[in-house]
Structure 1
Amino acid sequence: MNTHTPPRFDPTRVPHLLGSFAPVTEEVDVVDLEVTGEIPATLDGLYLRNGPNPRFTPIGSFLYPIDGDGMLHGVWLSEGRARYRNRFVRTPAMEAEERAGRALWGGVESLIMPDADQVGPELADTFKDLPDINVVRHAGRLLALAESACPFRVDTGLETIGREDFGGALPAGITAHPKIDPVSGEMFVFCYALEPPYLTWSVIARDGVVARGPTPVDGMDEPMMIHDMALTDRYVVIVLAPAFFDLDAVMAGGSLLAWRPERGTRVVLIPRDGGPPRWAADEAFWVWHTVNAFDEGPDEHAQVVLDYVQWSRLTVGRPPEAEPVTVGLVRAHIDPAAGSMTRTVLDDSRVEFPRVDDRRIGRRHRHTALATETGRADLLPGEYDALRWYDTETGSTRVWDAGNLAVGEPVFAPEAGSESEDRGYWLTYATDRTDGTSRLLVISAEDPAAGPVATARVPVRVPLGLHGCWLPTDGG
């Protein structure tokens, strides 16, 4: 039944449903994209990105970046040519809405859910699946990931296969940012919940079998939102910022999340061997995305080094102008024995969507790529007009100004046969804010500030979205 209807929701006035964020509904296939420049012959694979894209006009509420149906946008690169395909991630709720020809579920803050007369008993009074945040490949499975729920599996043509619960071993699902150890091939995941246990972690082996089922994290005793994690040789690293779920506030028409800075931010280090977790605490800050983490120092005194994008507080949508928010690239040194942490700002530019060479996950990395702002344009949260690269060895940065283009998360495609972080290409979608046209950018890692060595014109506008991956044809 419709349990709550917020007043005066007008989707035509929601900034994240307009402009570069506006959803598209057409699914298309184009074999030969128009290419400017030359796509390197060494690039052979698929660049794939997920993002919120409502199939129908939202009702009740819309909260970016959480709400919205998933849509996958893929560009296949081979022999200097490019082809494109986009597909919705078809969940049972979306299929019910397609039969009705309109939205039946409201946004997460509205609590509008259809009854059995509208969608049948199996879907009645249930939350809508939202696998719209990330996409990864592991053990031959291509997974569209939600904030904290079962992912949906898709095939190599991006057609939806169905909900993935890993043979019933992970019935509550996982969050949108698992980490795959490039050495062991294991995928480490976590899941948060509104009821105990509030936080669990699990391990999926290289072959896709769940090697460790949901394991509660001792010391987590309230429901909190946790978007990302990191991984080292020894630890699963999770930042617990003071963003608490407040269902009473939602029922009264308020916000789903309560920011309580007086509670501070904690970091939990969970030994990968299953030992008791180690905790550290500091003043309040928020983390949407980690960069990477690694162990540093002799075994008996090793610290954890964690790089991440730090926000002074949680923001969802456009923050109130009376409450300025600071953002920057930060490095934390965490002492597991002492339970302490120190933080150093590496780069105080407004940045987000950090990525490294995925082959460096859990190990020391040199280069971090991020989306950033030039300060020239009035951009919405989640909208960026430049790319920035930070060098952890020299402390230097390189920037490519995208001009009128709104750019997304950069993803690294390494050069086959090379282990160097400098040999390969950074890939991202970009959309022209003046005419709405989109393209795939191919940027050399050797000289990223020089801008794209090639662009492939995409036949439809790609709404600004969230996270993606590079999937080489050889499966590496």
Structure 2
Amino acid sequence: MDARTPPRFDPTRVPHLLGSFAPVTEEVDVAELEVTGEIPAALDGLYLRNGPNPRFTPIGSYLYPIDGDGMLHGVWLSEGRAHYRNRFVRTPALEAEERAGRALWGGLESMIVPDAQQVGPELAGTFRDLPDINVVRHGNRVLALAESACPYRVGGGLETLGREDFGRALPAGITAHPKIDPVTGEMVVFCYALEPPYLTWSVIGRDGGVTRGPTPVDGVDEPMMIHDMALTGRYAVLVLAPAFFDLPAAMAGGSLLAWRPERGTRLVLIPRDGGPPRWAHDEAFWLWHTVNAYDDGPGEDAPVVLDFVQWSRLTVGQGPGTGEPVTGGLARARIDPVAGSMTRTLLDEARVEFPRIDDRLIGRRHRHVALATSTGRTELLPGEYDAVRFHDVRTGAAQVWDAGDLSVGEPVFAPEPGTDSDGRGYWLTFATDRTDGASWFLVVPAEDPGSGPVARARIPVRVPLGLHGSWLPADGN
């Protein structure tokens, strides 16, 4: 296919390029935001969120939530004041397109790549980097993360410092959801690939150095999409739903991903000490995001508990009214590492996504989970939510803050300094008004989340609905 003659594609008919998802192109810096209510003075740090935001009108195809240039949106908090800045993650492809003044790469499903005349020999025929999913801080690095590739390192002003391969120790990169052990300081990562080895895992030490290089996971013999993972004191936990990459279909104009429910869903426990993986199998379900996992006891044979948001099938880029109905909810799996078995129970049948806990409890027992949810009042797109649900897994009780005309994003926990885990602090998120496009930064108290925000900071530019973020305390902890 000639890179200059893309297939027929109308971006004005792609729901995830419109409304609250529509990309923005202006990079802005606002020294002090207008605040309604009062931002707690104890909050001192940066709330930083990433998300797909095409710099130019896409060509060929657009597959939400994977396609799109990364754009970081940051709110710095100090002494009750808020400062906002947004910046693109400046990849070589984005810079080449800026020089051309238009999109040169197509979306993932179109397979459109530029030639040497358009971008030079180094970029010709390559796929673009897409560090647009998540952002984390580890080992004194702030990393904008892609689905399965090298992340990009970001400076204190959100300037792009370049691709990060961890001293060439992880040349294939990592996925967008590493997990940082709050006890050891290690960041455990995984990476899937289109060629063998199809799945590897690695460990990055507290100081940012790689302590375990890419280690193949035995038992994975074809390319699969695996978006998230969980961590316990003993295991890295991965769920392998039957979403397989189908390159021949994509080359023929079909879907890049094939959902094959007859294959079922497998779960693998990867011992962090390097022992052989342990597998369990279940009926097919899809998982975008885990909540958390932990070892339910001290012994080697102790069960593993995994909380996650489950879906009845894979959903990528769909608008309302297309395909068969999709069901889901907050679920719990209990895995027996000796018998190789697992049982699933539904903790909450509400339609939810973007689950978060207090990150200081990763790999340990947790109690409170915050999730974006839908009230059902109006039809929303996949990935769009109009409320936040706060679930207590110990009691089963839930509180809901109804956001009204606001579409809310992923809630991120910011602990109150000097407090113990899983209790006092605040949930932070962006929200955009569906009626006028106005965007807000919200601060919701964890002790009474159903009461809604104690502070709203008006963002003077629209913040498109995006994906994942982090709270980065000023003290680095």
Is the structural similarity TM-score above 0.5?
yes
* In 2, Cα distance between equivalents of 1:187 and 1:17: 33
SS in 1 for 2:454: strand
Which residue in the other structure is 1:228 paired with?
Answer: 228
**1:7 offset after TM fit, Å?**
3.7
2:113 corresponding residue in structure 1 = 113
Question: What displacement does 1:327 show?
Answer: 1.1
Native 8 Å contact 2:223 2:244 kept in 1 = yes
DSSP-derived class of the 2:93 partner? helix
Distance 1:267 1:42, change over 3 A: same
Q: Counterpart of 1:251? A: 251
Query: Which residue matches 1:262?
Result: 262
1:8 is displaced (CA, Å) by 2.6
- Do 2:438 and 2:459's aligned partners in 1 also have CA atoms closer than 8 Å? yes
Q: CA deviation at 1:2?
A: 3.7
Quote the Cα distance in structure 2 between the aligned partners of 1:118 and 1:301: 58
1:446 aligns with 2:447: yes
Q: CA 1:192–1:139 in structure 2 vs 1: closer, same or farther (change >3 Å)?
A: same
The corresponding residue for 2:161 is 161
1:74-93 equivalent positions in 2, closer than 5 A:
74-93=74-93
Describe how 1:341-352 pairs up with structure 2 within 5 A. 341-352=342-353
Match of 1:391 in 2: 392
Percentage of matched positions with identical amino acids: 81
Q: Is the 8 A contact 2:53 2:68 kept in 1?
A: yes
Render the CA deviation track for 1:244-303: whole Å, top value 9, x for unaligned.
000010011000000000000000000000000000000000000000000003404300
1:322 CA displacement: 4.5
Q: Give, in whole Å, the separation in 2 of the partners of 1:231 and 1:2.
A: 45
Q: For 2:194 and 2:5, how far apart are their aligned partners in 1?
A: 22
Partner of 2:410: 409
Q: Which residue of 2 aligns with 1:128?
A: 128
d(CA) in 2 for partners of 1:384 and 1:334? 31
User: Which consecutive segments of 4 or more residues in structure 1 shift more than 2 A?
Assistant: 1-8, 319-322
In structure 2, C-alpha distance between the alignment counterparts of 1:103 and 1:113, rounded to whole Å: 10
Contact 1:5–1:111 (8 Å) recurs in 2: no
Tell me how far apart the structure 2 counterparts of residues 221 and 40 of structure 1 sit (CA, whole Å): 51
Q: C-alpha distance in 1, partners of 2:440/2:454?
A: 13
For 1:309 and 1:367, the matched residues in 2 are separated by 14
Q: Matches of 2:6 and 2:243 in 1, distance apart?
A: 22
SS at 1:387 equivalent: strand
Change (3 A) 1:4 1:218: farther
1:459 deviates by: 1.2
Which residue of structure 1 lines up, in the alignment, with residue 362 of structure 2?
A: 361
- The residue that corresponds to 2:95 in the other structure is 95
State the match for 2:297 in structure 1. Answer: 297
| Separation in structure 1 between the aligned mates of residue 4 and residue 371 of structure 2, nearest angstrom | 39
Separation of aligned partners in 2, 1:291 and 1:225 = 18
Indicate yes or no: 2:58 matched with 1:61. Answer: no
Cα distance in 1 for partners of 2:451, 2:150 equals 41
Deviation at 1:165, TM superposition (A): 0.2
Structure 1 unaligned spans of 5+: none
Aligned CA RMSD, in angstroms, stands at 1.0
Q: Deviations over 1:62-99 (max 9, x none)?
A: 00000000000000000000000000000000000000
Q: Taking structure 2 as the reference length, what is the TM-score of the superposition? A: 0.99
Given that 1:4 and 1:110 are in contact with CA atoms closer than 8 Å, whether structure 2 keeps it comes out as no
Within a 5 Å distance, the mapping from 1:173-322 to structure 2 comes to: 173-318=173-318, 321-322=322-323
Structure 1 letter corresponding to 2:185: G
Structure 1 distance, partners of 2:354, 2:186, is 23
